[in-house]
Chain A
Amino acid sequence: MELLSGADMLIRSLQDEGIEYIYGYPGGAALHIYDALFRQDKVKHILVRHEQAAVHMADGYARATGKPGTVLVTSGPGATNTITGIATAFMDSIPMVVLCGQVASHLIGEDAFQETDMIGVSRPVVKHNLSVRHPEEIPEVIRKAYYIAATGRPGPVVVDIPKDMTTPNERYEYSYPKKVKLRSYNPAIRGHAGQIKKAVDMLLAAKRPVIYAGGGVILGKASNQLTELTRMLGYPLTNTLMGIGCYPASDKQHLGWLGMHGTYEANMAMHHSDLILCVGARFDDRVTNATEKFCPGARIIHIDIDPASISKTVEADVPIVGPVDAVLKEMLALVKESKDKPDPDAIGSWWKQIDEWRAFHGMRYETSPDVIKPQEVIELLCKLTNGEAFVTSDVGQHQMFAAQYYKFDKPNRWINSGGLGTMGFGLPAAMGVKLTHPDDEVLCITGEGSIQMNIQELSTCKQYNLPVKIINLNNQALGMVKQWQDMNYESRHSQSYMESLPDFIKLAEAYGHVGVRIEKKEDLESKLKEVLAMKDKLVFVDIYVDRFEHVYPMQVARGSMKDMWLSKTERV
């Protein structure tokens, strides 16, 4: 057997795990590991400019590819800087392994230089964390970390590695475990057959059904099964912000997404339904509005890999714990062989009602002859990229506009921080996507507030030649904060105005990129075309959009799903 140092074992384990890229930043406690990294060429390391960005990069990679991302940082500040990224991944169930250096074992607890209890600090925002206690354990710990991160309900796993675990001159026998067995961790591999049968009977008997799909469909790689089942039944489908792309947005059965800024028809259909089939979603407060007023006439079937997501906020009538792809496959088989068929009259009149709702609002917004509306920028981008781009976003109004007006027909292409709402996510996430999808268009739709939270990564983009397109919807304000202040605080714009904005064009140029400013509406299309034609350049597009625009529809606070503002003046 081969004898390797702890550091070499760590890197070999990553190779044997099939890891292509790690994102990170070196420092004292991680130096043995960085040296081992230097002496090989299979695992490529991307040097970011701030550790938070390394985690978002790994996250973007994971969301686009479905494979776990990997981060390597040093102890102390290196580790604590990853926390926002880890929490982001945790809230959206993104598989990821974060390797953190730690001070040598004998120094732990002595407030040593760059010592932080990373196991303790990360505990509330990880699926699990592991500490290396002996160098020989490294292969097993790494195997376990990826296994836990990627199976069941995925999530981030932190591995804490004291410096003396990676000492170069102490060598141990290396072998990478093929399998992991954890007696206390056995994610469900199929749903309960009786429950599935019951669900199918209810589905086929429904008069006003809605399928409500979430990010779990994308994580569980079940888009095909979901699409097949939805089309076979002929039922309307709405998805969450996280579920965008799990079902083709251009399909007529698709109602758009639901919730706080969801479409009128999706929210109305949910509220008036008699049966909700929830697939891999978690009845989040941004979806349900006030839970006590949530869909009063609906019975609920809830499929989720995580039993704790079921009946957490809204009681399920038929809970099904299991992987969504396996459960949907069984449901499909049962629907196919069932003698019962959906009631054509009931479903017909249900669609008639839905089409009326659709016609009533239909995601309209007011255009202006001279001011650029943020919505039209997104619609134009969607048209110019044939709806095929990978789109990452930051957090705020631009995120909602991007999600509303870019029509995604495929999963894994809409990449945003849905659960935690992390500003600064968009650019590094886009970089993680671009790295593995060099031939695809990758757009980072952002705002002048969010982009400044991780703008240092423009430097990383230069180093690794990552020609993403940054679409800065510049409204010279923290738009969503301002919108809430307009609606709830009599337009007292406390701290929501972005004063002293940098010249983004010069900034982009300083980092060695191209900057394009768009201020006039008549220039919008031609300039965007020019930008998209610069295939091998990172272009920072600073677009001056309407400063007063609000995101609509918007659910009325503490109301039911059907209580919405449709514009600044219309409330239903």
Chain B
Amino acid sequence: MRRIISVLLENEPGALSRVVGLFSQRNYNIETLTVAPTEDETLSRLTVTTTGSDKVIEQITKQLNKLIEVVKLVDLTEGAHIERELMLVKLKATGSQRAEIKRTVDIFRGQIVDVTSSVYTVQLAGDSDKLDGFIQAVGTSGVLEVVRTGVSGIARGEKVLSL
């Protein structure tokens, strides 16, 4: 099952490599990984999406917790949460395609952020399924390049991951 694990990490050199190293050492999957400093500059927030049985996920969270630089973590998929991913897509856009793409972008509530005579660059945010859906809708043949940030997530309601 797909899980989103969100980690507060000491913002120190080498901390990220420990997290990434742990996944490969213990044969766990990483599907996406995002990391950036938080409002507290001593902490980074890292979000990793992974798949595995309940037993594997339990081991992943325990092993992550053992890393000295991991301050706190939460499996967001255990409760209600919001997940977002940002995608930039470069699409071939000539002739009648231009209007068609524009319509699709509007339906998906994306934005065209750069335009040339033959190319649109589209920005789209949403959960991973929505981004996959957009690529499907425009068709892979017109896609020149895709960049995705990987998933960021946050729990709904009052629940907060902080010190």
- Tell whether B55 is near chain A: CB-to-CB under 8 Å: yes
Bound-complex Cα distance A183 to B14 (A): 18
Q: A183-B163, A184-B69 are in contact. Are A123 and B21 (CB under 8 A)?
A: yes
Is A533 interfacial (CB 8 A cutoff)?
Answer: no
Cβ of B10 within 8 Å of any chain A Cβ, yes or no, is yes
Asked whether A124 and B25 contact (CB < 8 A) given A183-B163, A184-B71, A306-B66, the answer is yes
Establish whether residues B21 and A308, one from each chain, have CB atoms under 8 Å apart when the complex forms.
no
Q: Which residues of A contact B13 (CB under 8 A)?
A: 131
Closest residue of chain A to B9 (Cβ to Cβ) is A184
- CB B104 to nearest CB in A, in angstroms, measures 45
On chain B, the residues within 8 Å of A183 by CB distance are 71, 163
Contact of B63 among A120, A308, A311 (CB under 8 A): A308
| Per-residue contact bits, chain B 1-32, to A (CB 8 Å; 1 contact, 0 not) | 00000000010011001100100010000000
B132 at interface, CB cutoff 8 A: no
With A182-B68, A307-B62 as known contacts, state yes or no: A119 contacts B14, CB within 8 Å: yes
For the complex formed, measure the closest distance between the CB of A183 and the CB atoms of chain B, giving whole angstroms: 6
A148 at the interface (CB under 8 A from B): yes
A493 CB contacts on chain B under 8 angstroms: none
- Say whether A190 faces chain B, with CB atoms less than 8 Å apart: no
Q: Does A383 contact B (CB under 8 A)?
A: no
**Does B97 have its Cβ within 8 Å of any Cβ on chain A?**
no
How many residues of chain B get a CB closer than 8 Å to chain A's CBs?
20
The one of B14, B18, B65 that contacts A131, using a Cβ cutoff of 8 Å = B14
Contact B59 A312 (CB under 8 A): yes
Q: Which residues of B contact A127 (CB under 8 A)?
A: 68
- B-side interface mostly: helix
Nearest CB on A from B35, distance (A) = 16
- B68 with A148: CB separation less than 8 A: yes
B57 to chain A, nearest CB (A): 12
Q: Are B21 and A124 in contact (CB under 8 A)?
A: yes
Instruction: Give chain A nearest CB distance to B18 CB in angstroms.
Output: 6
Give chain A residues whose Cβ lies under 8 Å from the Cβ of B66.
306, 308
How distant is B88 from chain A, measured CB to nearest CB, in Å? 31
Report chain A residues within 8 Å CB of B58. 311
Once bound together, how far apart are the Cα atoms of A308 and B55, in whole Å? 11
A307–B64 Cα distance when bound, in Å, is: 11
Closest to A306 in B: B66
A-B CB contact pairs (8 Å), 27 listed:
A119-B14, A120-B17, A123-B17, A123-B18, A123-B21, A127-B68, A128-B68, A148-B68, A182-B68, A183-B71, A183-B163, A184-B10, A184-B68, A184-B69, A184-B71, A184-B72, A185-B68, A306-B66, A307-B62, A307-B65, A308-B59, A308-B62, A308-B63, A308-B65, A308-B66, A311-B55, A312-B59
| Residues of chain B whose beta carbon lies under 8 Å from any beta carbon of chain A | 10, 13-14, 17-18, 21, 25, 55, 58-59, 62-63, 65-66, 68-72, 163
Binding site for B on A (CB under 8 A): 119-120, 123-124, 127-129, 131, 148, 182-185, 306-308, 311-312
